[in-house]
Chains A and B, each alone.
Chain A
Amino acid sequence: MKKIFAIAWKDTIVRFASASEWLFFIILPILFTFIFAGGVPTGDEDNRIRLVVVDEAQTAISQEIIRELENSTSVRPDVLSRAEAEEQFDSRRAIALLIIPPDLDVESIQNGTAQMDFRQPPNNMDASIAERAVQTAVRRVSSVVSAANMAVDEAKARGAFESAEAEQAYFNQALELAKSLQEDSPERVTTIQGNTPDDFDYDPQANVSAGQLITWVFIPLFGISALFAYERQGGTLRRVLTTPTSKATFLLGTISGQVAMALIQMTLLVVFAVFAFKLNWGNPLGVFLILACSALAAAAIGTAMGTFIKSEGQATGLSVMAGMMLGMLGGCWFPLELFPPVMQTIAQIFPTTWAMQGLLDLLLRGAGVLEILPEAGVLTVFAGIFFGVGVWRFRFE
């Protein structure tokens, strides 16, 4: 037991010999969690197509058009200066651009000279949808003027006006009447939300906290492979042979030290999420079980990797790459529910998927210890298999 502790302590000293280790141990995980918690897609954000609008008119009519666009269910207007809007459109950061010119007012609509510019890229479905939304908004805003114009035309069809002033007065009266009629217009569409089941449980802060925790803990645990390679390259592993230390004692010491550090790191990240996001992680025993099983599974994979990889440099690179890949494919970066169905099935072979599932069951679904036993069980199986491979293939030289 003393040997195991000594080996674990030695590894801790080696790992934290450089102050920069703190960056990866706690600072970067916290930074990533904090920033991504507010930045990953939640499914609740405004998914309407962004329409860049330049309002050079600044008239009541132009403001009304923008208000109508804001009420649209398909586009969301983003009012910018002309230079900024054109720069965004030209650099393809905006899919559609509406320019309301300075001379747009009631008079221009009345005399038929009112116009606006709409720019779009070729053959773009989103831009076509935006164009349709603009036409609807314009129609709503201009319909009273159109109605007044129509009234004037109908009157003219039954005899000319005495003077231009009489025609204008007729138009003004019709406009007022149209406005009052529009206000009294009945709502002709009733919207009812269907009962489509939505199984997608998502909380950005919970998902990001759990996902970042797993990613940042799996990478250093995979890094056990680098520890083995470092000791093998330096000849220190061979030197252990001269001491009365068995293979099992050495492996247990190395792995337990790394797992203990991982548990400390995870605890710090759990506590951070509690204070920063007021996150309720659920059943403490369940959380400990999932974290411990995840750490064991990741350490086992790192051990197995260490028996295949020859140099420390390769081991470091592969650990980072494997950690990021498994984090991404296991739903730690983006919710698994957003993956294509076939990828959701394939993801079941990754330990990160089960670790994430277990934590989300506790965080979002209020699961107890019994409910997360399947996830803990699968992670333990991962640990068993990879430790088996690691012990079987491990050589001091």
Chain B
Amino acid sequence: MLKLLLIGIKDLKLMFRDRAALILILLAPFLLTLGMGLVTGRFSGGNSGISDIPIVIVNLDKDSLGNALVDVFNSEDLADLVEPTSSEDSEAARLLVDGDEAAAAIIIPAGFTQSVIPQNESAVSNQEITIEFYSNPSRPTSAGIIKAILDGFMARLDEMRLGGLTSISQLIVSGRISPQDANQVGEEMGARLRQNAAGNANEATAIALNTSTSEGEAVEFDALAYFAPGMALMFLMYTVSYGGRSILAEKSQGTLPRLLVSPTDSLQVLGGKVFGIFLTGAAQMLILIGASSLFFQLKWGDAFGVVLLVLAAVFGATGWGMLITALARTPAQVGSVGSAVMLIFAMLGGSFVQLDNLPAFVQTLGRITPNAWAMDGFTTLAFGGTLTSLSTPMLALLTMGILLFSISAVLFGKKNLVQK
């Protein structure tokens, strides 16, 4: 066991003394993460998610429903989401949208309330006055959210109006009131509805929505929480193939069989070399995680979970490194195939583009990579997940590692890699 440890630590030291290797092991993933942060606006505050959506409201109605709608957008509930401003000029509001200064303009025309809940004449209005939703096409998401809030308000109005009309019609049909009394009852009901609309537009629905909030701290989306592990995992694959290359290099230089002259058996030698690769990969990941936490204030989530996931990811990746080594004939082959595998796994595993955006077959194929499973785990942790929520990626990575190590061991045995 001690020999295994010594060989492993010796390889770890060798790797970290190699300046050329350090460029790709540490410098490249760190700088690429920095670059991702720069281009996604992570360092310029442009990545804080949806908030403070600027809108303009023109309330020409100035009656209960128009005012109620203005109140909805100025409510405490929406204070963080919407930044409403008022205007008296419809054309000026539209120009603000055209100039990309607002995500949408809501223009409530004069007489809107009267058209929905008529105060005089009949209970049913013939005059249809519509609210204008002037949308900014270059901000589809923000405009969509504002439209959804407006739709919610309108759905509430419609529900009240439908209730009123149905009630009055049924009262007349059933003979509970006379048609002559309909106007008076309608006005009484209308007054109640107006009061309700102004009071709480989000009044409970007929289907109760039991909202529960999961435990844990509130977590905001951070683009780097995705890209930092993505880059680290990509270059982890470089590290494991580089380690594999060193096994073949030592064999061709004769230093590996020479070790067998010492009282060390072949299993210990090979185990030590593999352990060295594992240690290097783990050290690489932990250094990158530490550096990104320190320099980019990146929150990786539950520390214990992060360490366990790193170990599982490195185990899975080392398995791939061993398989490449077992299949290759020369160190150069391991180098070039390893680099290609590094890039392919990065692509399939979602290091460059989120897996959800890639075609379905790529998402399925990506599951053979340690990158995809580890990315799942790191994203889960970054969003506040705990150790229990890591069971699937951990299990997948460990299974992957065991399977690949077993195949590699058989292939190594066939190649008599550590023969005197």
- On A, residues with C-beta under 8 Å from B are 18, 20-21, 23-24, 28, 31-32, 35-36, 38-41, 45, 47-48, 72-75, 87, 89-93, 104, 109, 112, 114-126, 128-129, 131-136, 138-151, 153-155, 158-159, 170, 173-174, 177-178, 181-182, 185-198, 200, 311-314, 316-318, 320-321, 324-325, 328-329, 333-334, 338-340, 342-343
Please judge, given known A-B contacts A23-B340, A28-B343, A104-B207, whether A174 and B166 are in contact too, CB under 8 Å: yes
List of A residues within 8 angstroms of B40 by Cβ: 334
How far, in angstroms, from A194 to B152 measured CA to CA in the complex? Answer: 22
Give the nearest-CB partner of A326 in chain B: B35
Cβ–Cβ contact B158 & A143, under 8 A: yes
Whether the Cβ atoms of A117 and B210 lie closer than 8 Å is yes
**Which A residues are in CB contact (< 8 Å) with B273?**
none
Flag if B152 contacts A87 (CB, 8 Å). Answer: no
| Interface range, B side | 35 or more
B260 contacts chain A at the CB level, 8 A cutoff: no
> A136 CB to closest chain B CB, in angstroms?
4
Chain B 119-148: CB-based contact to A (< 8 A → 1; otherwise 0): 000000000111111111111110111011
A172 to chain B, nearest CB (A): 11
A138 touches B207 (CB 8 A): yes
Q: Are B211 and A139 in contact (CB under 8 A)?
A: no
Flag if B376 contacts A155 (CB, 8 Å).
Answer: no
**Contact of B202 with A155 in the complex, beta carbons under 8 Å:** no
A114/B174 in contact, CB under 8 A: no
Interface of B with A (CB < 8 Å)? 18-21, 23-24, 27-28, 31-32, 35-36, 38-41, 44, 46, 49-51, 77, 80-81, 94, 97-100, 105, 116, 128-141, 143-145, 147-152, 154-159, 161-167, 169-171, 173-174, 176-177, 189, 202, 205-219, 332-333, 336-337, 339-340, 343-344, 347, 352-353, 357-359, 362, 376, 379-380, 383-385, 388-390, 392
Task: Report yes or no: B166 in contact with A192, Cβ–Cβ below 8 A.
Answer: no
Q: Is the CB of A170 within 8 A of B170?
A: yes
**CB pairs A–B below 8 angstroms (14 shown):** A20-B333, A48-B144, A92-B383, A120-B214, A125-B49, A128-B77, A138-B205, A143-B155, A182-B158, A182-B162, A189-B132, A314-B23, A321-B31, A324-B32
Chain A residues near B98 (CB-CB < 8 A): 194-196
B219's closest neighbor in chain A, by CB?
A121
List of A residues within 8 angstroms of B152 by Cβ: 132-133, 135-136, 139
Instruction: For the complex formed, measure the closest distance between the CB of B308 and the CB atoms of chain A, giving whole angstroms.
Output: 15
Of B141, B166, B212, the residue contacting A148 (CB under 8 A) is B166
- Which of A91, A109, A131, A141 neighbours the largest number of chain B CB atoms within 10 Å of its CB? A91
Chain B residues within 8 Å of A135, by CB = 152, 202, 205, 209
Q: Write out the residue numbers on chain A whose beta carbons fall within 8 Å of the beta carbon of B207.
A: 104, 109, 114-116, 138, 141-142
Query: What residues on B are CB-neighbors of A177 within 8 Å?
Result: 166, 169-170
* Chain B residues, Cβ within 8 Å of A132: 148-149, 152, 202
* Complex alpha-carbon distance, A132 and B78, angstroms: 11
- What's the nearest-Cβ distance from chain A to residue B17, in Å? 12
Q: Complex Cα distance A296/B264, Å? A: 54
Contacts of A45 in B (CB 8 A): 357
The residue on B at minimum CB distance from A158 is: B176
Instruction: Choose among A90, A116, A151, A333 the residue with the greatest number of B CB atoms under 10 Å from its CB.
Output: A151
CA distance A329 to B35 in the complex (A): 7
Q: How far is the CB of B304 from chain A (nearest CB, A)?
A: 17
Which residue from chain B places its CB closest to the CB of A19 in the assembled complex?
A: B336
In whole Å, how far is B159's beta carbon from the nearest beta carbon of chain A?
4
Contact between chains at A118 and B210 (CB < 8 Å)? yes
For the complex of A and B, list the 10 residue pairs with the smallest distance between their C-beta atoms, beginning with the closest: A313-B20, A123-B218, A317-B23, A92-B383, A74-B148, A20-B336, A150-B163, A73-B144, A142-B206, A143-B159
**Beyond A31-B344, A151-B170, is A72–B24 a contact (Cβ under 8 Å)?**
no
CB distance from B34 to the nearest CB of A (A): 9
Q: Which of A109, A158, A182, A318 contacts B171 (CB 8 A)?
A: A158
- Known contacts A150-B166, A187-B130; A328/B36 CB under 8 A: yes
Q: Are A120 and B211 in contact (CB under 8 A)?
A: yes
Residues of A within 8 A of B339 (CB): 24
Cα A111 to Cα B207 in complex, Å, equals 10
CB distance from A190 to the nearest CB of B (A): 5
Q: Is the CB of B352 within 8 A of A333?
A: yes
- A118 touches which of B206, B211, B384 (Cβ 8 Å): B211
- Interface on chain A toward B: helix, strand, loop, or mixed SS? helix
Determine whether the beta carbon of A125 is less than 8 Å from that of B80: yes
* Cα distance, A247 to B159, chains bound together (Å): 85
Question: Do A122 and B131 touch across chains, with their CB atoms under 8 A apart?
Answer: no
The answer to whether B336 and A121 have CB atoms under 8 Å apart is no
Q: Which of B21, B205, B353 contacts A317 (CB 8 A)?
A: B21
- Inter-chain contacts of B216 with A (CB < 8 A): 121-122
**Distance A146 CA – B20 CA, assembled complex (angstroms):** 72
Kindly report which residue of chain A lies nearest to residue B97, judged by CB atoms: A194
Closest B residue, CB atoms, query A42 = B357
Closest residue to A121 on the B side, CB-wise? B214
A317 and B206 in contact (CB under 8 A), knowing A28-B344, A147-B159?
no
A121 to B94, CA, bound (A): 36
* Chain A nearest Cβ from B150, distance in angstroms: 6
Docked pose: A155 CA to B389 CA in angstroms: 53
- The reply to whether B97 and A38 form a contact with Cβ atoms under 8 Å apart is no
Given known A-B contacts A72-B148, A121-B383, A122-B214, A155 and B176 have beta carbons under 8 A apart: yes
Docked complex Cα distance between A93 and B378 (Å): 11
* Interface pair B208/A136, CB less than 8 Å apart: no
B358 to A155, Cβ gap below 8 A?
no
C-alpha spacing A123/B80, complex, angstroms: 11
Measured CA separation A191–B170 after assembly (Å): 34
Pairwise interchain contact B392-A87, C-beta atoms closer than 8 A: yes
Closest chain A residue, CB of each to CB of B357: A39
CA distance A54 to B38 in the complex (A): 38
CA–CA, A198 to B139, complex, Å? 10
State whether A119 touches B155 (Cβ < 8 A): no
* Structural contact, A151 and B167, CB atoms closer than 8 A: yes
Taking the nearest CB of chain A, how far is it from the CB of B105, in angstroms? 8
CB-defined contacts of B189 to chain A, threshold 8 Å: 154
- Pairwise interchain contact A186-B31, C-beta atoms closer than 8 A: no
Q: For A115, list chain B residues within 8 Å (CB).
A: 207-210
The answer, among B24, B100, B158, B214, for a CB contact under 8 Å with A321, is: B24
Q: Contact: B210 with A188, CB < 8 Å?
A: no
Please state if A150 and B210 are interface contacts (CB–CB under 8 Å). no
- Name B39's closest neighbour in chain A (CB-CB): A339
**When the two chains form their complex, are residues A129 and B148 in contact, meaning their CB atoms are under 8 A apart?**
yes
Contact indicator B205/A191 (Cβ below 8 Å):
no
A192 and B40 CA atoms in complex are apart in Å by 31
Closest chain-A Cβ to B143's Cβ sits at a distance in Å of 8
Residue of B50, B105, B134, B384 near A121 (CB, 8 A) is: B384
- Residue numbers in A under 8 Å from B20 (CB-CB): 311-314, 316-317
Please, which residues of chain B bring their CB within 8 A of the CB of A131? 209, 211
Complex-state Cα separation, A200 to B140, whole angstroms: 14
Tell me which residues across on chain B come within 8 A of A20, comparing CB atoms: 333, 336-337, 340
The residue of chain B having its C-beta at the shortest distance from the C-beta of A193 within the complex is B137
A159 cross-chain contacts in B, Cβ below 8 A: 176
Q: With contacts A159-B176, A317-B24 known, what are 11 further pairs, Cβ within 8 A?
A: A20-B336, A90-B385, A92-B380, A119-B214, A124-B218, A126-B49, A143-B159, A153-B167, A313-B18, A320-B24, A329-B38
